[in-house]
Amino acid sequence: MKLKDKMYIIQYYMKAYSLNAYRIYNSIPDVTTREFAIINFDNIMKRHILVRDFNSFKRILIDENVKELYHSSAYYLFPDKPMDQKEWRGADLIFDIDADHIDRVRLKEVYICKKCGEVHNKPVDICIRCGGTVDKVKLIDSEALNQVKNELFKLIDILIDDFGFKEEDLKIFFSGHRGFHIHITNENILNLDGIERLEIKDYITMEGIDLVTIRDPNSRPIREIKRILREKKDELNIYFSPNEVKVIRDILNRGDINFYHFLKRIRGRRGFIEKLNKLLLKEGSVGIDGIVTVDTSRLIRAPESLHGKTGLVKSLLDLERLDGERIISESSPEEKMTSVYVRYIPRLLWGDYELNETFNERIKVPLTLSIYLVNMGIAYDIRDL
């Protein structure tokens, strides 16, 4: 990154953190019991930070040249001591949905030469200009967020319908980059240990589920496999042998059938069952980053803080008004337009701004998009208009 752009971006973060300090501070329940961590503009992480009050919080944000801010999902007696002396007192339950964990979501890709910076629009093994090695870079935009949103809704349904959380228990955030976070601070979950959280995670991702071992006919795996087979009714031959397809079609055609008994009946056919298990995992899982949910001392991005790549805020979302365009617009701390020189950029939808595919041109774009493109290495020289 050019020094001038780095200075510009540091200024942007300093201003946003200074203006948003109170908002960030207020959005974190039980601030004084959390471990805080920062990543500064030299990309150095400092952790085990205790925040005593708002003034010390604001001082950290300003003095430490903060790019990214994190806090523990856990509550501790001594947040600033080493891990083994912190004295854990519970943790929020956190879910992280990231486009990178969802095969169904297709992000736009560019290929950047590590040596000369040339940006290619198609996959190449080596740089066409200089022969250098090439990095694949995936880009998020409002369109992709709309796809990730479907995954978010699935997760919300499971948390409410199957786990019995109330909508007001769930705080839903845009992560600032490729997805969403759900924070649950309900006291019923505070003391769940790692094993219990692992079970919750497996229920959501369907990992390790064997359909024939399930005893509850109304459980989610049974409901899901039924839904998936119905949905894929016309393409079953991709997954199953002709004989298996016939068996499935028969049962589907019978109307309101009992899938539980069906599974019991075929339990001896291990190959068939394995195919069903695999299909369930592929089509019935919700794409969460499991480790975030399971780890009881995880550091998570602080609400209302800025993402280091996009300059967008991790903002609290209103479920009633959730679309990819709005998410990016409402997570931009400043509405300002800027200009930036773009090497190559595919068609992108960034909030309300639709950008066509562009090669080697100076373009006018919203400030956060300039920051994102520069951070991703596909543009340079941000200027105010």
224 binds Zn ion (CB under 5 A): no
Segment 147 to 206, residues that bind Zn ion, using CB under 5 A: none
Residue (120 or 201) nearer to Zn ion, CB: 120
Residue (113 or 280) nearer to Zn ion, CB: 113
Residue (125 or 256) nearer to Zn ion, CB: 125
Residue (29 or 132) nearer to Zn ion, CB: 132
Q: Write down the least CB distance from residue 110 to Zn ion, Å.
A: 13
Segment 96 to 155, residues that bind Zn ion, using CB under 5 A: 113, 115-116, 118, 127, 129-130, 132
Q: Give the separation between CA 356 and CA 120, rounded to whole angstroms.
A: 16
Q: Write down the least CB distance from residue 137 to Zn ion, Å.
A: 14
Residue (90 or 132) nearer to Zn ion, CB: 132
Q: Write down the least CB distance from residue 119 to Zn ion, Å.
A: 10
Q: Write down the least CB distance from residue 341 to Zn ion, Å.
A: 17
Q: Write down the least CB distance from residue 120 to Zn ion, Å.
A: 9
Number of residues that bind Zn ion (CB under 5 A): 8
Q: Write down the least CB distance from residue 323 to Zn ion, Å.
A: 38
**Which residues does 269 contact at the CB level (< 8 Å), separation at least 6?**
none
Q: Give the separation between CA 290 and CA 275, rounded to whole angstroms.
A: 23
Residue (111 or 262) nearer to Zn ion, CB: 111
Q: Tell me which residue of 352, 17, 328, 21 sits closest to 145, measured CA to CA.
A: 328
Helix axes 242-253, 270-284, angle to 10 degrees: 70
Q: Which residues bind Zn ion (CB under 5 A)?
A: 113, 115-116, 118, 127, 129-130, 132
